[in-house]
């Protein structure tokens, strides 16, 4: 996705929060902010990639602050929120075991996002408020048609905590559609995105093939992907993509695959890009395979 004007203020808000998480040294943060201003002034322009700029500034903060994982505590919080909500979500699933319910729960999990929503947001309250909302874009019939047609799926993960709800959907897909699922996560920490150890911690290694995309980019930045992951990506014709970062990255590409995006439009830029209201929940077919 190309930058919208709102992206500039969002980048700076994320920089402020990430620096506060990474260090308490005020003098250092002034110097670091200057470096980030310099980078954004060179890269933030019409037609620039939002993922590329976001990736660069978060890497810059990690490198200069000497902090590999500034959002470590936020990821612990995300896991706790997920744990708190599992009984409620399982109650909803027990009352309605349709595929659409599992998809909706996975999308609600996408609200566990320190990057898009910022720090200090009551994420648990926000998620509860979305439990009775309908999907603004709902292409569930097309998703189910392709679940029946295919025997393997690449699942692009997003955030820690969120993947707890992804696991519920994945179990449904394996049990009902007998799919072989490859679960793709980040190679190293960035924002509160899930890495291999986070997926293993909730048992996804028992039911999926967990792989790294080979980098720590915000979402998908195609030129940063490892050769190993590119091979996996190219050998899958059916993809489920979670979250904003992956949506932003995939829209930069032209793909001859069936790709579905499951997300909550947590910022006005994404909402405008998709054509929905802010905070809308979306099951959107982004690309279709042409034989």
In this structure, what is the dihedral angle of CA atoms 235, 241, 245, 247, given to the nearest 10 degrees? 90
Extract the residue ranges of the chain whose pLDDT is less than 70: 113-124, 126-127, 129
pLDDT computed for residue 204 by the predictor? 97
From the list 115, 49, 127, 114, the residue with the least C-alpha distance to 81 is 127
pLDDT computed for residue 3 by the predictor? 94
pLDDT computed for residue 123 by the predictor? 57
Judging by DSSP bridges, how do beta strands 258-264 and 281-287 pair with one another? antiparallel
Judging by DSSP bridges, how do beta strands 137-138 and 209-212 pair with one another? unpaired
pLDDT computed for residue 85 by the predictor? 84
Segments making up each domain of the chain, as ranges: 6-65, 72-287
pLDDT computed for residue 87 by the predictor? 87
pLDDT computed for residue 86 by the predictor? 87
pLDDT computed for residue 138 by the predictor? 96
Tens digits of per-residue pLDDT, 112-137? 765 555 555 555 676 676 777 889 99
Assign domain 72-287 to its CATH architecture: 3-Layer(aba) Sandwich (3.40)
From the list 10, 72, 56, 16, the residue with the least C-alpha distance to 266 is 10
d(CA 252, CA 203): 32
Tokens 């449904």, residue? 172
Q: Write the CATH number of the domain with boundaries 6-65.
A: 1.10.8
């Amino acid at each position: 996705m190309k930058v919208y004007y709102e992206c500039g203020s969002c980048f700076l808000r994320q920089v402020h929060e990430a620096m506060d998480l990474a260090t308490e040294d005020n003098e250092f943060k002034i110097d670091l902010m200057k470096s980030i201003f310099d980078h954004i002034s060179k890269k933030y322009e019409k037609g620039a990639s939002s993922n590329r700029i976001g990736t660069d500034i978060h890497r810059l903060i990690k490198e200069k602050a000497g902090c590999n994982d500034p959002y470590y505590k936020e990821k612990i919080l995300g896991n706790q929120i997920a744990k708190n909500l599992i009984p409620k979500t399982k109650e909803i699933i027990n009352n309605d075991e349709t595929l659409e319910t599992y998809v909706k729960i996975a999308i609600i999990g996408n609200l566990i996002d320190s990057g898009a929503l910022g720090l200090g947001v009551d994420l648990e309250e926000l998620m509860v408020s979305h439990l009775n909302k309908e999907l603004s874009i709902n292409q569930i019939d097309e998703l189910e048609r392709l679940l029946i047609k295919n025997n393997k799926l690449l699942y692009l993960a997003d955030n820690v905590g969120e993947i707890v709800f992804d696991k519920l959907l994945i179990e449904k897909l394996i049990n009902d559609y007998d799919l072989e699922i490859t679960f793709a996560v980040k190679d190293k920490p960035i924002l509160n995105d899930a890495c291999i150890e986070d997926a293993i911690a909730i048992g996804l290694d028992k039911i999926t093939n967990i792989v790294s995309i080979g980098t720590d980019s915000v979402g998908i930045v195609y030129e940063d992907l490892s050769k190993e992951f590119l091979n996996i990506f190219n050998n899958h014709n059916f993809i489920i993509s979670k979250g904003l970062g992956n949506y932003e990255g995939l829209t930069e590409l032209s793909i001859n695959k069936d790709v579905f995006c499951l997300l909550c439009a947590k910022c006005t830029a994404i909402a405008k890009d998709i054509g929905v209201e802010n905070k809308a929940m979306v099951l959107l077919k982004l690309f279709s395979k042409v034989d």
